[in-house]
């Protein structure tokens, strides 16, 4: 076993896990004060439920089980991680300790990806869904959507570089760290659920503004930091590819931030902090599938394109009338598609503008389209089933008074108590 690789992958796993609290702050700052605790709790639910499901059968479906139709692995082979963990003299260790790093670390690394993916969906559903319904959804979605998608793309399945789609087109599909599995997948799921559960009260009729912009910026900065584990960790070794993924991630994110801010300045006359934070995330999303195969120049270009496109895309919800509360579709959906497809133009030696041919572009479009279709169908089935049984939404009265009180029985800020204390001190 290479202890250096093992140490790096443990570090990368921890960095990716940090991304879920970062998302919680990023989303939490963008909702109104009466809903921040619920927003944070949706990330808590994602972490807790996904960890249990992954241990029971999620890992097996994604990576451990025998391939079934190129779509998923059987859930029994790695049930309760029995393929990955063994006890030696009363102490548990990895079943396989040879190679780049132990298999137990791979379980941890891939778990953090599953957690962040489902947590991303919560931003579209802000301020109106029951926490109990969300937890059931997380368990079902990880089982029937995320784990099979991870298998299809990253474990030799249908959408992998060795899969049937790649073989038919004659070019290897490429998704380095999750353009399809994470971002397109989460964004499509978010859109489907939003269309089923409907809009927040007052959407499009009254201003719904972020209540804490510093929280939004803090979340974005922490996401950028955690993303080094996300992308550089996807090299699966402490090597030059990991180092370059770190560099390309930063270059693209910088390009997207500038692209978003320039678009915003031309359109509205301001460089906003929320825009800067959103531009950062858009760049991180777009470079994710391509971090190892685009040159520094194309990384900048890819990021800038993503920044401009996602900035415009976030306004679609008002024109089309769907209430994607925190722009999951605009940032992660459009950013994920942009990064995935542009590999077909910018991928070194394979992309149409980087010494390759049209085949890479076609295969990237195909895997993005199939990911959209798969996520849309599976999520629709799950979301409709939950809507028709236990229901997604809190009551209108609870939404108006604040979902924090309705679901958590708490408030994030005791404004009344603070005002009372100040008055007493003045007297």
List the chain domain ranges.
3-419
Chain segment 260-318, per-residue pLDDT in tens = 999 999 999 999 999 999 999 999 999 999 999 999 999 999 999 999 999 999 999 99
Is residue 118 predicted with pLDDT exceeding 90? yes
Distance CA 302, CA 232 (A): 18
DSSP at 200: P
Q: What's residue 414's pLDDT?
A: 80
Return contacts of 65-72, CB within 8 angstroms, 24+ apart.
67/151, 67/155, 67/156, 67/157, 69/158, 70/152, 70/156, 70/157, 70/158, 70/163, 70/164, 71/148, 71/151, 71/152, 71/157, 71/158, 72/147, 72/148, 72/151, 72/152, 72/157
DSSP at 77: T
Question: Residue 159 in contact with residue 371, Cβ under 8 Å?
Answer: yes
What class, spelled out in words, does domain 3-419 have in CATH?
A: mainly alpha
- For the chain, give me the number of helices (H) and strands (E)? 19, 4
Is residue 418 predicted with pLDDT exceeding 70? no
Distance CA 122, CA 46 (A): 9
Is residue 419 predicted with pLDDT exceeding 60? no
Q: How confident is the model at residue 423 (pLDDT cuts 50, 70, 90)?
A: low
Q: In the chain, what is the greatest distance between 2 CA atoms, to the nearest angstrom?
A: 80
Distance CA 352, CA 354 (A): 6
Is residue 399 predicted with pLDDT exceeding 90? yes
The mean pLDDT of 356-380, rounded to a whole number, is 98
On the CB side of 187, CA atoms within 13 Å amount to 27
Is residue 408 predicted with pLDDT exceeding 80? yes
Question: Residue 213 in contact with residue 327, Cβ under 8 Å?
Answer: no
Is the pLDDT higher at 414 or at 230? 230
Residues composing the chain? 427
For residue 388, give Cα distances in angstroms to 188, 290, 370, 380, 392: 21, 40, 27, 12, 9
Is residue 422 predicted with pLDDT exceeding 60? no
- Tokens representing 275 are 């825009």
Question: Residue 199 in contact with residue 323, Cβ under 8 Å?
Answer: yes
The mean pLDDT of 202-224, rounded to a whole number, is 94
Question: Residue 398 in contact with residue 199, Cβ under 8 Å?
Answer: no
Q: What's residue 376's pLDDT?
A: 98
Is the pLDDT higher at 97 or at 87? 87
């Amino acid at each position: 076993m290479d202890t250096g690789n093992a140490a790096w992958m443990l570090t990368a796993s921890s960095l990716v896990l940090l991304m879920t609290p970062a998302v919680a702050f990023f989303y939490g700052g963008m909702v109104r004060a009466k809903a921040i605790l619920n927003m944070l709790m949706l990330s808590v639910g994602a972490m807790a439920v996904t960890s249990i499901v992954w241990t029971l059968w999620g890992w097996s479906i994604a990576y451990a089980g025998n391939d079934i139709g190129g779509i998923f692995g059987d859930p029994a082979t790695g049930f309760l991680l029995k393929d990955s963990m063994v006890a030696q003299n009363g102490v548990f260790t990895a079943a396989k300790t040879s190679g780049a790093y132990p298999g137990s670390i791979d379980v941890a690394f891939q778990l953090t990806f599953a957690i962040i993916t489902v947590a991303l969906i919560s931003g579209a559903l802000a301020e109106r869904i029951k926490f109990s319904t969300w937890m059931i959804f997380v368990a079902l979605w990880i089982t029937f959507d995320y784990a099979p998608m991870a298998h299809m793309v990253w474990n030799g399945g249908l959408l992998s570089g060795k899969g049937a789609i790649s073989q038919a087109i004659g070019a290897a599909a490429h998704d380095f760290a999750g353009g399809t599995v994470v971002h397109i997948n989460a964004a499509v799921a978010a859109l489907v659920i939003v269309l089923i559960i409907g809009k927040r009260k007052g959407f499009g009729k009254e201003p719904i503004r972020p209540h804490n912009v510093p929280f939004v910026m803090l979340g974005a900065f922490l996401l950028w930091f955690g993303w080094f584990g996300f992308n550089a960790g996807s090299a699966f070794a402490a090597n030059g590819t990991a180092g370059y993924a770190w560099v390309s991630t930063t270059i693209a994110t910088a390009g997207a931030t500038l692209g978003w801010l320039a678009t915003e300045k031309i359109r509205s006359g301001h460089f906003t902090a929320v825009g800067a934070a959103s531009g950062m995330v858009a760049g991180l999303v777009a470079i994710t599938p391509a971090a190892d195969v685009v040159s520094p120049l194309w990384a900048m270009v890819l990021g800038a394109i993503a920044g401009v496109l996602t900035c415009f895309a976030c306004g679609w919800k008002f024109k089309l009338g769907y209430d994607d509360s925190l722009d999951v579709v605009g940032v992660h959906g459009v950013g994920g598609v942009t990064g995935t497809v542009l590999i077909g133009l910018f991928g070194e030696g394979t992309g149409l503008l980087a010494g390759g041919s049209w085949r890479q572009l076609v295969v990237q479009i195909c895997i993005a389209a199939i990911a959209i279709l798969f996520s849309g169908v599976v999520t629709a089935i799950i979301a409709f089933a939950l809507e028709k049984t236990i229901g997604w939404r809190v009551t209108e009265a609870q939404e108006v008074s604040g979902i924090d009180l309705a679901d958590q029985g708490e408030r994030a800020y005791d404004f009344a108590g603070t005002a009372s204390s100040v008055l007493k001190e003045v007297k």
